[in-house]
């Protein structure tokens, strides 16, 4: 009998809510976390995109002033999500050497990096603060969590753009399956609602320009989709061996049964239109799960609301699932949250876990005219999932041709 790996804690801070529960409730209610940016720098720099999914609860309202001062916003979100997940798992008393962190980011401490550069230019090198380096490094969020929970089994950061935090969860699965550790806090965060990244994403025409109607801008699979909407926040899962979870009497949300990473080697930003490497990631995750394609009842798609990305993922899905795809309830939750980049996979894995746990697939808002080329059964209002042993996957793809997929099974 192979080792089972289970999810025992969840935490998040997102554009929909300051914790996992409020985020999930808002998602089920069909809310949008997207709003107009009121920051003065929008006008100052004439930023062409004037909206995003800002964290519903400010991190600085949750953390102490000293914590906030020493952490880049990406690490602030990470710490908030991880604390919630750890508490949700019962704040387990574990051997530090058997506890690891796999926490991702796409960009890292971009606020710290650019603020420090402004300080250098305006005030000189002496005024560049000594905490700048630990605050800007991409492993900062993972390190902050590791310090918080005394993880001595290894603290790592996957960096693969928008696939980062799904890759982190796949890495966690592998570390648990090898027996190196008993328990891992995994996930990812991002805090890049800053004029420079917005300008850069806008410059590559990746972002929606629906400035006059921000809550309708993120619209995966809709014929009028025109790009993704940036979001910020973080998500964390506590993942452990079933034996470890049972020994301490933990509640179990779902089983993590597969995780796979592949790469396109096709184009630095465009997805392979055939989706063959993306398809292979899905198949590998299912193979690791010992599952067949017919076992899958729900997919949390990557679906960022870009014209080409949504089609490419659809092609990959059709390649994997064939006719069975018509029987699968597909949710594209970025419609509500926006795209959390390196944090996206973490909150979407959490949504997938909650969908299995509650037997309820979350809705995809803003789907008014489904693209006729995308023949998916898209969930537009919360939909009950079947009883029995069911499987769901969560996809994430990133610039660089990164494909990451995780598979979860309902747990009884």
Q: Which helix H or strand E contains 101, and what residues bound it?
A: strand 99-104
Q: For other proteins, give the closer residue by CB, 124 or 249.
A: 124
Identify each DSSP E strand in 244-356 by its residue range. 254-263, 296-300, 329-331
Helix (H, G, I), strand (E, B) or coil at 70: helix
Least separation, in Å, of the C-beta of 113 and other proteins?
A: 17
Q: Tell me how far apart the alpha carbons of residues 390 and 247 are, in angstroms, rounded to a whole number.
A: 25
Least separation, in Å, of the C-beta of 79 and other proteins?
A: 16
Percentages helix, strand, coil for the chain (3-state, rounded to 5) are: 40, 20, 40
Q: Of residues 47, 57, 131, 223, which one binds other proteins by CB under 8 A? A: 131
List residues bridging with 329 in a β-sheet: 298, 377
- 130 part of the interface to other proteins, by CB under 8 A: yes
How many residues lie near other proteins (CB under 8 A)? 10
Query: Angle 307-104-246 (CA atoms, 0-180°, nearest 5)?
Result: 115
N-to-C CA span, the chain: 17
Window 274-303: contact mask with other proteins (x via CB under 8 A): ------------------------------
Least separation, in Å, of the C-beta of 161 and other proteins?
A: 30
- 127 part of the interface to other proteins, by CB under 8 A: yes
Q: For other proteins, give the closer residue by CB, 65 or 372.
A: 65
Q: For other proteins, give the closer residue by CB, 123 or 246.
A: 123
- 118 part of the interface to other proteins, by CB under 8 A: no
**Residue positions annotated with a catalytic role:** 162, 302, 339
Q: For other proteins, give the closer residue by CB, 64 or 178.
A: 64
Least separation, in Å, of the C-beta of 129 and other proteins?
A: 5
Least separation, in Å, of the C-beta of 296 and other proteins?
A: 49
Q: Which phi and psi (to 5°) does residue 52 adopt?
A: -170, 175
Q: Which of 69, 70, 142, 80 is nearest to 105 (CA)?
A: 142
Q: Of residues 57, 114, 120, 129, which one binds other proteins by CB under 8 A? A: 129
Q: For other proteins, give the closer residue by CB, 133 or 196.
A: 133
Least separation, in Å, of the C-beta of 65 and other proteins?
A: 7
- 124 part of the interface to other proteins, by CB under 8 A: no
Instruction: Tell me the two tokens of residue 197.
Output: 């990244």
Q: Which long-range contacts (CB under 8 A, 24 or more apart) does 266-273 make?
A: 266/401, 267/401, 268/399, 268/400, 268/401, 269/204, 269/206, 269/399, 270/308, 271/308, 271/309, 271/312, 271/313, 271/397, 271/401, 272/312, 272/401, 273/308, 273/311, 273/312, 273/315
Q: Are 141 and 171 in contact (CB under 8 A)?
A: no
Q: Are 77 and 62 in contact (CB under 8 A)?
A: no
- 126 part of the interface to other proteins, by CB under 8 A: yes
Write out the binding residues for other proteins, residues 32-91 only, by CB under 8 A: 64-66, 69
The residues of the shown chain that bind other proteins, judged by CB under 8 A, are: 64-66, 69, 126-127, 129-131, 134
């Amino acid at each position: 009998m192979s080792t089972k790996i289970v999810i025992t804690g969840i935490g998040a801070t997102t554009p929909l809510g300051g914790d996992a529960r409020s985020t999930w409730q808002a998602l089920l209610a069909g809310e949008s976390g997207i709003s107009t940016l009121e920051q003065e720098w929008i006008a100052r720099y004439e930023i062409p995109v004037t909206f995003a999914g800002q964290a519903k609860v400010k991190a600085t309202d949750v953390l102490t002033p000293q914590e906030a001062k020493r952490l880049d916003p990406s690490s602030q979100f990470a710490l908030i999500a991880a604390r919630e997940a750890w508490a949700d798992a019962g704040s387990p008393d574990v051997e530090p050497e058997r506890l690891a962190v796999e926490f991702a980011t796409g960009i890292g401490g971009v606020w710290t990096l650019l603020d420090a550069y402004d300080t250098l230019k305006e005030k000189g090198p002496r005024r560049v603060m000594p905490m700048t380096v630990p605050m800007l490094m991409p492993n900062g969020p993972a390190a902050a969590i590791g310090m918080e929970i005394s993880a001595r089994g290894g603290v790592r950061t996957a960096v693969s753009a928008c696939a980062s935090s799904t890759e982190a969860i796949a890495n966690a699965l592998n570390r648990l399956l090898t027996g190196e550790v008993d328990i891992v806090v995994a996930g990812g965060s991002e805090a890049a609602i800053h004029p420079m990244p917005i300008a850069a994403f806008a410059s590559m025409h990746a972002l929606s320009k629906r400035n006059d109607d921000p809550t309708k801008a993120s619209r995966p699979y809709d014929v009028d989709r025109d790009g993704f909407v940036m979001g910020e926040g973080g998500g964390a899962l506590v993942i452990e061996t079933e034996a470890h979870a049972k020994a301490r009497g933990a509640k179990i949300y779902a089983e993590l049964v597969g995780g796979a990473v592949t790469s396109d080697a096709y184009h630095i930003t465009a997805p392979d239109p055939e989706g063959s490497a993306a398809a292979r990631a899905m198949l590998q995750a299912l193979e690791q799960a010992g599952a067949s394609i017919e076992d899958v009842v729900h997919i949390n798609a990557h679906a960022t609301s870009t014209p080409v990305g949504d089609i490419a993922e659809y092609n990959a899905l059709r390649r994997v699932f064939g006719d069975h795809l018509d029987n699968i309830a597909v949710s594209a939750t970025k419609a509500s949250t926006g795209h959390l980049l390196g944090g996206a996979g973490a909150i979407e894995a959490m949504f997938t876990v909650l969908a299995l746990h509650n037997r309820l697939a979350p809705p995809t808002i803003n789907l008014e005219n489904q693209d006729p080329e995308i023949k998916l059964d898209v969930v537009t209002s919360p939909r009950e999932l079947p009883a029995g042993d069911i499987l769901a996957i969560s996809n994430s793809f990133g610039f660089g041709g990164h494909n990451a997929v995780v598979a979860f099974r309902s747990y009884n």
